[in-house]
Copies of this chain bind each other. A is one copy, B any other.
Amino acid sequence: MDNEFLKQLDLEHIWHPCTQMKDHENVPLIPIKKAKGVWLYDFDDKRYLDCISSWWVNLFGHCNEKIANAIKKQVDELEHVILAGFTHEPIIKLSARLCEKVGRDFNKCFYADNGSSAVEIALKMSFHYHLNQGLKKNKFLSLSNSYHGETLGALSVGDVALYKDTYNPLLLECLNTPVPKNKDYQEELFVLKGILEKHSSEICAFILEPLVQCAGNMHMYESGFIDEAIKLCHEFNVQVIFDEIAVGFGRTGTLFALHQCKQSPDFICLSKGITGGFMPLSVVLTKDEIYQAFYAPYKDYKAFLHSHSYTGNTLACAAANAVLDIFENENILEKNKILSTFIQQEFSRLKKFDFLGNFRTCGMISAFDILNAKYERAGLEVFKRALKKSLLLRPLANTIYFMPPYVITKEQISYVVDSLEQIFKKF
């Protein structure tokens, strides 16, 4: 087995996600054999530092032993059981812990398998909540530049043209309000208020990715806007959904982005880091008040009958409990503060390149943009050159971002910045 053999076999049978497959005529497709910590190893004995936590899912390094052991133990005991009418200890423990860690009266957990499904659950739940209250609302409001997933409902509330425009005839008509461009967000609040004044009787919920719009080129914006927006929405009887799928589990510096906001939403969607990057799991947290609106005699037909076969999978819950153990026992958020400052310092070395700009950091997410690039696909150019320096980077258009597993060392961070420096010297 070598890279080339596996690549050919792969291309015969696999249609990769988020990929123009023709690109692989001249972009490498790399088969990974094993992984440990921040490193991925291919079949030609080359290694790559996973600077993007494998699509923002990995928290504590690949093949983390504590998470692996939790899965290994669970798989001998109970691998999975239907979650309707039945339950299991790992999910009960996980739910109690998530509610406690999120806080703010988030007291109920509804599970699914991926981020898109969690967003769909929150949208359906909000719509159904209003309906159970006798209100027929059927629109959703989201932020410009937002991304919430790929199933048709989730795609409808997104605003990244690249993923969305093709499918417009299949999508829900949604309302959109501008995300703040900078620290002054008065104009954006004014627009939001105008939309609410005009449309609040039709709007079920306002969905947003708090603090960082990750797929939206890592755009960062103020918690102050979020607080004011939530207050406005609640004044107008519009619910608020936090999509913390990418930003949750410590990425923004706090365990959840919510903890940097004074106001609280009505729903929080979590996924990605929840299992430490080991396997799919997602959850929507909400409050007892909302749960109660569905709690009624069966024949009232008020129940939320959404389901997925593997809802609350036992192995995934065991992994998620191990992730929370690591947060509790290893002082991760404090250690990440030190790392975040160091990352910011190191990345500022790249400011000397006048074609790089908009350097920004939020917790363990750092990004900058290539301005006036001479390459048509500058990000792809960086991806290819980074691979040669043993780095897995995956720029979003002309935005280069760094979102590593939390086990990265200072030396490894410096190595990443040294490598980027060399790349941009000859760019």
Interface string of A24-38 (1 = CB under 8 A from B): 000111111111000
In the complex, A191 has a CB within 8 A of chain B: no
Q: Looking at A55, A98, A136, A154, which has the most chain B CB atoms within 10 Å of its CB?
A: A55
Residue of B nearest to A71 (CB): B75
In the assembled complex, how far is the CB of residue A239 from the closest CB belonging to chain B, in whole angstroms? Answer: 15
Indicate whether A373 reaches chain B with its CB closer than 8 angstroms: no
Chain B contacts for A154, CB-based, 8 A: 151
Residues of B within 8 A of A166 (CB): 128, 131, 301
Closest chain-B Cβ to A92's Cβ sits at a distance in Å of 5
**Does any Cβ of B come within 8 Å of A272's Cβ?**
yes
Given the interface pairs A75-B63, A92-B9, A138-B170, the reply to whether A32 lies near B114 with Cβ below 8 Å is: no
In the docked arrangement, what's the CA distance between A96 and B5, Å? 13
Q: Are A91 and B14 in contact, with the CB atoms below 8 A? A: yes
The reply to whether A124 and B167 form a contact with Cβ atoms under 8 Å apart is yes
B15 touches A124 (CB 8 A): no
Q: How far does the Cβ of A303 sit from chain B's closest Cβ, in whole Å?
A: 4
CA distance A167 to B26 in the complex (A): 45
Q: Is the CB of A310 within 8 A of B23?
A: no
Q: Give the distance in Å from the alpha carbon of A279 to the alpha carbon of B58 in the complex.
A: 18
Instruction: Please state if B313 and A34 are interface contacts (CB–CB under 8 Å).
Output: no
Q: How many residues of A contact B (CB 8 A)?
A: 126
Chain B residues with CB under 8 Å of A294's CB are 20-21
Identity of the chain B residue whose Cβ is nearest the Cβ of A154 in the assembled complex:
B151
Whether the Cβ atoms of B20 and A308 lie closer than 8 Å is no
From B13, B56, B81, B136, give the contact of A54 (CB < 8 A). Answer: B81
Chain B residue numbers with a CB within 8 Å of A131 are 166
In angstroms, Cα B91 to Cα A138, docked, is 40
**A397 on the interface (CB 8 Å rule)?**
no
Tell me how far the C-beta of A319 lies from the nearest C-beta in chain B, rounded to whole angstroms: 9
Q: Which B-chain residue is minimally distant from A294 (CB atoms)?
A: B21
CA A34 to CA B90, docked complex, whole Å: 11
Chain A 144-181, CB-CB to B under 8 Å as 1, else 0, gives 00000111111010000011001101101000000000
- Whether B31 and A87, one on each chain, are in contact in the complex, defined by CB atoms closer than 8 angstroms, is yes
Cβ–Cβ contact B63 & A150, under 8 A: no
Evaluate contact between B68 and A76: CB separation under 8 angstroms: yes
Given contacts A32-B81, A76-B63, A309-B55, contact A170 B172 (CB under 8 A): yes
Residues of A with Cβ closer than 8 Å to B? 1, 6-7, 9-10, 12-23, 27-35, 40, 50, 52, 54-58, 62-63, 67-68, 71-72, 75-89, 91-92, 95-96, 98-99, 107-117, 120, 123-124, 127-128, 131, 136, 138, 149-154, 156, 162-163, 166-167, 169-170, 172, 271-272, 277-280, 286, 291, 294-298, 301-313, 315-316, 377, 383, 392, 394
Other than the given A20-B303, A30-B87, A85-B392, 10 more pairs (CB < 8 A) read A13-B95, A19-B85, A29-B87, A33-B88, A35-B78, A55-B309, A68-B75, A68-B79, A80-B277, A153-B170
Q: Which 9 A-B pairs have the closest CB atoms?
A: A152-B153, A17-B307, A20-B303, A13-B95, A18-B307, A280-B310, A138-B169, A151-B151, A54-B82
